[in-house]
Amino acid sequence: MKIALLGYGKMGKVIEQIALERGHEIVLRKDQDISFDGLQLADVAIDFSVPNSAAVNITACLNNGIPVISGTTGWLVNYQKMVDLCEAKQGGFIYASNFSLGVNVFFELNEYLAKMMSNLKQYNVSIEEIHHTQKLDAPSGTAITLADGIIKNSDYTNWTLETPISKEIHIEAKRIENIPGTHSVFYNSNVDQIEIKHTAHSREGFALGAVVAAEWLVGKKGVFTMKDVLGLK
């Protein structure tokens, strides 16, 4: 499989390493100041860039008939435009706030727990996310996905980084050197606390999931999620 890497920072380099180990070829390594020359040679593109580049990268892929997965966060104001373009071009597209296989199991666990807790009004839910200091967006896309999963299965209606009001989920975003990503969901009452937690030990889990998703997407048309890739639907 020939892969275009759109974003060649720390994550891009780890994705490259895993892709090569799995027998794939890299035909484009694109940073912000590098053109799309070579994109047309790719079977699939993997976008791990920056928020202001993601929509441009995805658009270029879909316009050239290249299926694309994106793990860039902080750009979702343009997500529906990318979905519409994918459908118009009959392309293939996956966005995930986190491609880690373990995190996607964690997402399912979070939704299941939210359903269980929805009638226990004595518990208040909150989320904490911790990342390295180079992460540009806050809260993380993963934390937002966790909050959305709770909202879908409870009476909560919104999330906030500020002091929460009624039916808001507070997200605490911390930036600490050399932390790949830690996410915790807390249910607090006056008598106890329930916590579920996912801790990434390195970027390799995110990178492996991205390559697995890219392998799955080749030859498919439509807009998909990691639930499709992992057969969780």
CA distance linking residue 98 with residue 104, whole number of Å = 7
Could you tell me if 84 and 128 lie in one domain? no
Could you tell me if 111 and 48 lie in one domain? no
**Residue 171 has what pLDDT?**
98
Could you tell me if 7 and 120 lie in one domain? no
CA distance linking residue 191 with residue 159, whole number of Å = 24
The answer to whether 153 touches 117, Cβ cutoff 8 Å, is no
Could you tell me if 211 and 162 lie in one domain? no
Q: Which of 2, 89, 132, 135 is catalytic?
A: 135
Full DSSP string of 171-225: EEEEE-TT---EEEEEEE-SS-EEEEEEE-SSTHHHHHHHHHHHHHHTT--EEE-
**Residue 35 has what pLDDT?**
86
Could you tell me if 44 and 80 lie in one domain? yes
Could you tell me if 82 and 115 lie in one domain? no
Active site residue 30: no
Could you tell me if 78 and 108 lie in one domain? no
**Residue 203 has what pLDDT?**
86
Could you tell me if 155 and 80 lie in one domain? no
Q: What CATH number should be reported for the domain holding residue 145?
A: 3.30.360.10
Domain boundaries, position 14: 2-99+204-230
CA distance linking residue 17 with residue 62, whole number of Å = 25
Could you tell me if 153 and 165 lie in one domain? yes
The answer to whether 147 touches 184, Cβ cutoff 8 Å, is no
Instruction: Label the pairing between strands 92-95 and 44-47.
Output: unpaired
- Residue 187 has which token pair? 């249910």
**pLDDT per residue rounded down to tens, the chain (233 residues):** 999 999 999 899 999 999 999 999 999 999 877 889 899 999 999 999 999 999 999 999 999 999 999 999 889 999 999 999 999 999 999 999 889 989 999 999 999 999 999 999 999 999 999 999 988 789 998 999 999 999 999 999 999 999 999 999 999 999 999 898 999 999 999 999 999 999 999 889 999 999 999 999 999 999 999 999 999 87
**Residue 97 has what pLDDT?**
87
Could you tell me if 67 and 57 lie in one domain? yes
Number of domains in the chain: 2
Could you tell me if 36 and 14 lie in one domain? yes
The pair phi, psi for residue 165, each rounded to 5°, is: -105, -170
Active site residue 131: yes
Q: What CATH number should be reported for the domain holding residue 75?
A: 3.40.50.720
**Residue 68 has what pLDDT?**
98
The H or E element spanning position 60 is helix 51-63
Q: Which of 131, 170, 183, 198 is catalytic?
A: 131
Could you tell me if 157 and 209 lie in one domain? no
